[in-house]
Structure 1
């Protein structure tokens, strides 16, 4: 049984112009203790998928079909009160912009301590507003929750955590704020940590540090990670498996080394070809022509067809299904489902159109 199983998930947003199918029949699997990448261009639906898993899709968005299972149990069947316990508890999320995610009126330490009170059995009240508790008991610096907050800041390598815990978010650098968000997300010791573009706003040196820490924290806390990014270099650095998403759909999935060694879907090939390489700095980049399509009532069966250099008439008319791909698939001998792509032009010779 997988830790998380997303099955045929469909999230849509009704608009005056029509329905936006932001997540369209997506399947996703995450095992305990692994880092799974979700990669694609901006607008491909990655963040909406994360919000759907967390149960924080804003109205008028709605889950129109499918299921989300954690440890085999459907999350969509639970009442909101139970989903709230899981949100931030069994599943936590690190958002892209920590400055907008942290409360500017509370110290960083108190915000982490509040997460501990909500999701760990420390026997401390969660009824009083955090701001009032801070004023009444000075952030409860002798409490178990506060001590746990210090430990979490130390675990993400915040220098002088006892002192910095009393600072406000604006007193932290961008990299330190992102570390604080990771500390807050891990404070409940979740089974799954969702990281939505956690390194986008950081310089490359800090990016490398954050990625190293995520790997270490995954082992230390026995937490699986869903890493959402548009940066293929980040995926290559830390992920065990990769899901490539385009226009609301997963189009290819494989183990990381296999995906970069042998990309099969034309979209994946385009992403890799448009990424600068340190081992070939003089090679000209090959951008993917066109743009991600408007997700309102897409008329063509393969969403990538208008941008695909290999597209045929059938690509516009026949919905591609997942099929094993790679060298052995070409002669029909491959049965391994670890590397699959949704493309009519891939797979065994008998399957191709």
Structure 2
């Protein structure tokens, strides 16, 4: 087997660059990471192949000229098509090749996400355990309170007095509904094959009727995505919750919300690796999420708005989990992206 074939089977992006940072070799993983064709990769200088990379171009060039190694860990990468990645960068001078260096760009997004997902799932399960116990303690006396109000209403003859018992019953029902919403779906429901774009379109149709004029919804779909096993009602609820959050973030300032669907290969969800997954992204150009909320964003009752319930994202996270997937968030001023990743092929 020749060296070219071996390098094309690597999951790490490998390029050979000269002192002008122009690639003279790139493997298949480099094409996939940067999102450009092999022909374009070899025609343009490296800085023109991405929007931003977390290492100074002069620093890279100086390392090639001086035949020195260079390592930068967990650097951000923003590709030309707007994809955000976290990468480890390694520059190694090539022996017997003057002023040529091997550049490795190793994605660490998945490792970081797996670690974050495992932590998040453990914390979410602990939070759900507390919420379930709290819900049980609330529902029992609530049922007794409602029943007592109903019995009292039967004994009363005055309509004015019955109004008070009816008020007790209505408030008890409202509190019970809040507890049920807080718990969210707990068990996987029956799944059947559906097209994700049909689910999204129902959400879009629902929201467009009342969408503020200064907010624009953009659809960016990959029509080749196959049907997948899902509960369409649950997924519709998850997408609706996330898009509504984006709309609320843009209220008053306006902006755009992009709903994008793509596939990714060889992705690990939890402890299982999948050949093909669906990535549904909801992206807005609003002010972003406060950094102090990021670690607890998917917890129940956590919200950055005074009038928010803090249940939407918690329910979306739970629905993604019940579908064998996950939900991630990256946020900075001008770019907030929620990505729901669901398995397509084991």
TM-score in terms of structure 1 length:
0.20
Query: Between Structure 1 and Structure 2, which shows a larger proportion of strand residues?
Result: 2
* Larger CA Rg, structure 1 vs 2: 2
Higher relative contact order, structure no. (Cα contacts within 8 Å, ≥ 6 residues apart): 1
TM-score in terms of structure 2 length:
0.20
